Chains A and B, each alone.
Chain A
Amino acid sequence: MSPIDTSIGPDRARELFRAELADVRTDAELQALRMRWVGRKGSWVAAFMEALATATPEQKKAFGRGANELKNEVEAAITEREAALAATRQPANAVDITLPGRRPAFGHRHPLSLIRDEVGAIFTRLGYQVLEGPEIEDDYHNFEALNMPEEHPARDMQDTLYLAEPLRIGAGQPLTLLRTHTSAMQIRHMEQHAPPVRLVAIGPVYRKDNLDLTHTPMFHQVEGLVVGKGVTLADLKGTLAAMAEALFGTGIGIRFRPSFFPYTEPSAEVDIQCIKCKGSGCSMCKRTGWIEILGSGMVHPAVFEAVGYDPNEVTGFAFGMGVERVALLKWGAEDIRLFYENDLRFLEQFGL
């Protein structure tokens, strides 16, 4: 801080004041600054006034006006800074708002549960009813009614987990196995309801698959079934295209590849455009641009005959999709086993 020296003139003094004001941080500093510049005694302004009183007319002419301007500026600037400091001042009962909040408890949804709900919501929007059903089944509903009689080679495609002892629950056949698909549920529904049918069945299914990156002995399935007059394969394509866009994003296309399932004819495996490269080819889609997502087709007439529908009167489509597969694709997870470890560090990545 320079000593008070009126000989430097008011203009230079004004520059000094501005520099000192810029350093002021607190109320106390501001009060000290006020005393030093506009205090009644011993301040810069007082010194100028004194100097003015004893000045020659030439000197008066030289800085009389400047001294007044200095006084006005100093007072105005200090008042302004005073208001600015007051605005930032914390009240006496202030808290440190940068400390973490006390969070009310909430848990996280399981990712498979999120997908189940999302798919359920998509099909509810499309006018489907969402159904669940028993997980222990009889051979008839899981295989035979689905055009897979005892010796059918397709039974090899789904390695089945059997009960050590059959259960007799209710009036039907003894229950012998864990359902390998939710189609069993669809058979039960058709047995009890005349067409039209428009449903999705959602729930856990079981197969004798060893645990690895892409397999678990229990997984979840969403299966759709629509039966009515004039239902076509093109209707299936439109429906699955709508589902794919709703699940994976606008513009994600699908394609049908002819395939074989005993309970549908024609049958098609359905690919979606690779969600990573959008179809141009990458490691995720093995450079094909497409990723297999589900199996589908037109309900086989033998299935209609098994449930008492007339295949000459109605047609229908069906599709089945793995919930885990959708979850892996959608979230870029690489190990399906994570879904069954229930590690909170994993679960907490998914919201509510």
Chain B
Amino acid sequence: MKVLLSWIREFVDVPEPAEDIGKLLSVRGLALEGLESHGDDVVMDFDVTANRPDCLSMIGIAREIATAYNRPLTVPAAPPLTIGASVAVTIEAPELCPRYAGAVADVTVGPSPQWLQDRLTACGIRSISNVVDITNYVLLELGQPMHAFDLAKLGGGAIVVRRAKSGESITTLDGKVRSLTPEMLVIADASRAQAIGGVMGGADSEVSAVTKRIVFEAAYFKPSSVRATSKALGLKTDASTRFERGMDVTAPARAMARACQLLEQIGAGKASGTIQDVYPAPQPAASLVLERARLPGLLGMDVPDANVERILRSLGFTVAPHTGGPYGDGHPSDGWTVTTPSWRVDIKRQVDLIEEVGRHHGFEHLPSTFPGVQQAPASSDPRIVRDRRVRNALLGMGFSEAITFAFVEAIAAEPFLAGDSPVALANPLSEKFAVMRPSLLPGLIDAVSHNRRHGRRDVQLFEIGTRFSPRAETRGVGFAWTGLATADHWSGARREVDFFDLKGVVEQLAAVSLVTLTFVAADVPYLVKGRSAAIAVNGSTIGVCGLLDSGVGDRRDLPSGDAVYVGELNLDALTAAAPAETLRATPLPRYPWVVRDLSMLVDDTLSAGTVRGTIRSAAPVTLSEVREFDRYQGTGIPDGKISLSFRLTFQSPERTLTDEEVQAGMQHIIDALTRDLAATQR
């Protein structure tokens, strides 16, 4: 809200410089947004919060300044008007318009005097003609939107406030034809709509250079009605913004008197009738009880009684000792009965009064204290600790943490939907943010692509975040790796990342989560078949890992030829699979272990997992570990065969194993491999 310092000074005596006023008001609830000089004058631009439509006026701002500086506010009274004939006003829809005032005036339309034009211009309003300028002047001064009709254009010379008829339309002042519905309020003459109530006037009855008689309008329109109409028509005006926030129901009479006074003052005309002020059901002023103890109880600082009363009175409240309290009538400890001024539509509860007192007493007087603790703090979301563990593990493995937007392009999400429909947005910011991500990978792929296109050769990124499906939100971790698997070092030994680097990452995440995972060949649309695995725990799939399909990469502008390995795990499922019972330490083994190596020739179609499985099932219980340590194919190995070497560790918690029993166990394993897998020992 732009206000003019000279205009403010008509209502309150503040000789202080504008900067000082701005600084003080900023800590009293009206933040100063801008300050600019305008000739000898100063325009101050205050940020008025949505709950304070009363401050969208000179008087409203002046009242705040008067209270802040503890000075009196002087509002000049407009003289009452009487005489002659007047326009007939009928309110047919009092539920949308509880009050409507109209007054007829004879006018000579022309330019406004310079001082009036200057004031409007300074406040950002274009001067149009003396009659229209007066309505805007009153709007700025008192906050009450007004309108002027050309009386000659009003059929029947009467004003009817009613709902629009279905199919009715109007051409508004901006020249557009608007279709109206019965939810909307119109100001009509005997036959048709001449204005949309509280939103915009009609072009037909617009005041023009030849207008001789006008009707001034000052009314109170119901906020929700104006809001709905403005929204439905996509038409937001200075008037509609004010009406939808709530205007002062007592203001129309005051505004009308002021407009008529200005009309005569600038020689633009003269009101020729009594004001028709139709207000069938006057609203009584609301009153609230302000309990004495509540003030320090809520604020944590005390405000002296005299200050409480001064602040409230200065803001327009009436204050009387509260009767009927526990201390007996009128006891000062009891508090006050406070009557709210009609313009303070935001005051509904005692806390609203406490805020008024608190902010004008000054938040700078608040002490710094701490809330007491009544019970031991409850524990935090367990996902925080879990996520931290996974995050630390990945950081330790060389992955940097990414955070990407949770909405992605529909085409980027498509390969990851796994049969679900996407969770799409109705009003996305753009096509790039159209659907909620079904996976963390689209975002990570874009991040890898960004880094690659900015000259980064090796990229390792991970993200922990939410994935969305029509059935649930789940927390997951995604990771992507391209470039070198090893440090780029002068000593050489560089190697590009491969499937087993990525699988190793997954295995480490399982290890830090105390979970055993199994891997089976995967067939998913975004990974290369034969280079990808589905990751399962207790038989259910919780993720995948493998080489990104080059088509998917191409669509995200990854440089062609880039081998990008990606993986993703459902962290909620991973957590659910972790042992629930408290970890128990196992004593260290007291007896020595025995290690045996075993090299077998097997068909190259057999997976190491199958061979390992056969070893495990044939082995005695003393087999504690099986580890592949070599895999060889080539010279010396028959076609169609591979040599797989295993290191087997035997150990018993009860005794030292003998050579013979280990040998017997080994033989049993070899027999099983020979028999079941047609393997031969090398």
Assess whether B472 is in contact with A169, with CB atoms less than 8 Å apart.
yes
CB contacts (< 8 Å) of A153 on chain B: these are: 50, 227, 244-245
The verdict on B596 contacting chain A, using a C-beta distance below 8 Å, is: no
CB contacts (< 8 Å) of B598 on chain A: these are: none
Assess whether B367 is in contact with A234, with CB atoms less than 8 Å apart.
yes
Assess whether B403 is in contact with A339, with CB atoms less than 8 Å apart.
yes
CB contacts (< 8 Å) of B69 on chain A: these are: none
Q: Report how far A161 CA is from B405 CA in the complex, Å.
A: 14
Q: Which residue of A lies closest to B22 (CB)?
A: A288
Assess whether B227 is in contact with A255, with CB atoms less than 8 Å apart.
no
Using C-beta atoms within 8 Å of the partner chain, give the interface range for chain A: 35 or more
Contact string, B17-40, partner A, CB cutoff 8 A, digits 1/0?
A: 000000000111101000000000
B 361-387 contacts with A by CB, 8 A: 363-364, 366-375, 377-381, 383-384
Which of A47-55, A70-78, A107-115 makes up part of the contact surface?
A: A107-115
CB contacts (< 8 Å) of A298 on chain B: these are: 298, 351
The residue that B400 contacts in the complex, of A132, A341, A348, with Cβ under 8 A, is: A348
The residue that A341 contacts in the complex, of B298, B426, B450, B487, with Cβ under 8 A, is: B450
Contact status of A342 and B403, CB under 8 A, knowing A130-B384, A167-B470: yes
Assess whether A239 is in contact with B370, with CB atoms less than 8 Å apart.
yes
The verdict on A347 contacting chain B, using a C-beta distance below 8 Å, is: yes
Q: Report how far A131 CA is from B383 CA in the complex, Å.
A: 9
Q: Which residue of A lies closest to B375 (CB)?
A: A196
Assess whether B297 is in contact with A256, with CB atoms less than 8 Å apart.
no
The verdict on A315 contacting chain B, using a C-beta distance below 8 Å, is: yes
Q: Report how far A120 CA is from B426 CA in the complex, Å.
A: 33
The verdict on B51 contacting chain A, using a C-beta distance below 8 Å, is: yes
The residue that A230 contacts in the complex, of B372, B398, B426, B462, with Cβ under 8 A, is: B372
CB contacts (< 8 Å) of B399 on chain A: these are: 107
A 87-138 contacts with B by CB, 8 A: 99-100, 102-110, 112-113, 117, 120, 124, 126-132, 134-136
A 7-44 contacts with B by CB, 8 A: none
CB contacts (< 8 Å) of B228 on chain A: these are: 151
The verdict on B391 contacting chain A, using a C-beta distance below 8 Å, is: yes
The residue that A110 contacts in the complex, of B28, B245, B402, B460, with Cβ under 8 A, is: B402
Q: Which residue of B lies closest to A299 (CB)?
A: B351
The verdict on A6 contacting chain B, using a C-beta distance below 8 Å, is: no
Assess whether B27 is in contact with A342, with CB atoms less than 8 Å apart.
no
Contact string, B338-370, partner A, CB cutoff 8 A, digits 1/0?
A: 000000000001011011001100011011111
Size of the chain B interface, CB-CB below 8 angstroms: 92
CB contacts (< 8 Å) of B402 on chain A: these are: 110, 342, 347
Assess whether A256 is in contact with B401, with CB atoms less than 8 Å apart.
no
The residue that A301 contacts in the complex, of B349, B423, B427, with Cβ under 8 A, is: B349
Q: Report how far A113 CA is from B470 CA in the complex, Å.
A: 27
The verdict on B466 contacting chain A, using a C-beta distance below 8 Å, is: yes
CB contacts (< 8 Å) of A106 on chain B: these are: 395-398
The verdict on A248 contacting chain B, using a C-beta distance below 8 Å, is: no
Which of A58-66, A259-267, A272-280 makes up part of the contact surface?
A: A259-267
Q: Report how far A126 CA is from B370 CA in the complex, Å.
A: 10
Q: Report how far A96 CA is from B158 CA in the complex, Å.
A: 102
Q: Report how far A128 CA is from B377 CA in the complex, Å.
A: 6
Assess whether B363 is in contact with A255, with CB atoms less than 8 Å apart.
yes
Q: Report how far A71 CA is from B461 CA in the complex, Å.
A: 71
The residue that B405 contacts in the complex, of A105, A164, A340, with Cβ under 8 A, is: A340
Assess whether A136 is in contact with B400, with CB atoms less than 8 Å apart.
no
The verdict on B655 contacting chain A, using a C-beta distance below 8 Å, is: no
Q: Report how far A267 CA is from B50 CA in the complex, Å.
A: 13
Assess whether A136 is in contact with B468, with CB atoms less than 8 Å apart.
yes
Assess whether B354 is in contact with A266, with CB atoms less than 8 Å apart.
yes
The residue that A135 contacts in the complex, of B28, B375, B466, with Cβ under 8 A, is: B466
Q: Report how far A237 CA is from B363 CA in the complex, Å.
A: 9
CB contacts (< 8 Å) of A233 on chain B: these are: 298-301, 358, 363, 366
Contact string, B161-199, partner A, CB cutoff 8 A, digits 1/0?
A: 000000000000000000000000000000000000000
Assess whether A198 is in contact with B384, with CB atoms less than 8 Å apart.
no
CB contacts (< 8 Å) of A130 on chain B: these are: 380-381, 384
Nearest CB of A to B454, in Å: 6
Assess whether A107 is in contact with B401, with CB atoms less than 8 Å apart.
yes
The verdict on A284 contacting chain B, using a C-beta distance below 8 Å, is: no
Assess whether B407 is in contact with A217, with CB atoms less than 8 Å apart.
yes
Number of residue pairs A-B, CB distance < 8 angstroms: 256
Assess whether A161 is in contact with B461, with CB atoms less than 8 Å apart.
no
Contact status of A344 and B380, CB under 8 A, knowing A153-B227, A265-B355: no
Contact status of A315 and B381, CB under 8 A, knowing A342-B402, A342-B461, A344-B451: no
Assess whether A108 is in contact with B400, with CB atoms less than 8 Å apart.
yes
Contact status of A342 and B404, CB under 8 A, knowing A131-B380, A132-B384, A157-B50: yes
CB contacts (< 8 Å) of B378 on chain A: these are: 129, 193, 199
Assess whether B384 is in contact with A258, with CB atoms less than 8 Å apart.
no
The residue that A232 contacts in the complex, of B224, B299, B465, with Cβ under 8 A, is: B299
Nearest CB of A to B405, in Å: 5
CB contacts (< 8 Å) of B298 on chain A: these are: 232-233, 266, 298, 315
Assess whether A238 is in contact with B450, with CB atoms less than 8 Å apart.
no
The verdict on A85 contacting chain B, using a C-beta distance below 8 Å, is: no
Most B Cβ at <10 Å: residue of A107, A109, A269, A348:
A107
The verdict on B428 contacting chain A, using a C-beta distance below 8 Å, is: yes
Contact status of A259 and B29, CB under 8 A, knowing A113-B403, A218-B407, A266-B351: yes
Assess whether A154 is in contact with B470, with CB atoms less than 8 Å apart.
no
Assess whether A162 is in contact with B450, with CB atoms less than 8 Å apart.
no
Q: Which residue of B lies closest to A150 (CB)?
A: B224
Assess whether B371 is in contact with A231, with CB atoms less than 8 Å apart.
yes
B 387-423 contacts with A by CB, 8 A: 388, 391, 394-407, 423
Assess whether A103 is in contact with B487, with CB atoms less than 8 Å apart.
yes
Nearest CB of A to B449, in Å: 10
Contact status of A258 and B27, CB under 8 A, knowing A234-B368, A266-B354: yes
Assess whether A120 is in contact with B384, with CB atoms less than 8 Å apart.
yes
The residue that A161 contacts in the complex, of B352, B363, B383, B425, with Cβ under 8 A, is: B425
Nearest CB of A to B189, in Å: 30
The verdict on B663 contacting chain A, using a C-beta distance below 8 Å, is: no
CB contacts (< 8 Å) of B380 on chain A: these are: 120, 124, 129-131
The verdict on B140 contacting chain A, using a C-beta distance below 8 Å, is: no
Known pairs A107-B400, A156-B50, A343-B454 / 4 extra A-B pairs, C-beta < 8 Å: A108-B401, A232-B299, A232-B300, A256-B27
Write 21 A-B pairs (CB below 8 A) sorted by A numbering: A103-B487, A105-B487, A106-B397, A107-B460, A109-B391, A109-B395, A110-B400, A128-B377, A135-B473, A136-B423, A156-B50, A198-B373, A231-B371, A258-B28, A258-B359, A260-B49, A260-B50, A265-B349, A266-B351, A315-B297, A347-B400
Taking Cβ atoms with an 8 Å cutoff, the residues of A that contact B are: 99-100, 102-110, 112-113, 117, 120, 124, 126-132, 134-136, 151, 153-154, 156-157, 161-165, 167, 169, 178, 193, 196, 198-199, 204, 206, 208-211, 216-218, 226, 228-235, 237-239, 241-242, 255-260, 265-269, 298, 300-301, 315, 317, 339-345, 347-348, 352
Top-9 shortest CB links A-B: A234-B300, A105-B398, A232-B300, A266-B355, A260-B49, A238-B368, A258-B29, A258-B359, A256-B363
Taking Cβ atoms with an 8 Å cutoff, the residues of B that contact A are: 26-29, 31, 49-52, 223-224, 227-228, 244-245, 296-301, 349, 351-352, 354-355, 358-359, 363-364, 366-375, 377-381, 383-384, 388, 391, 394-407, 423-429, 433, 436, 447, 450-451, 454, 456, 459-462, 465-466, 468, 470-473, 487, 489-491
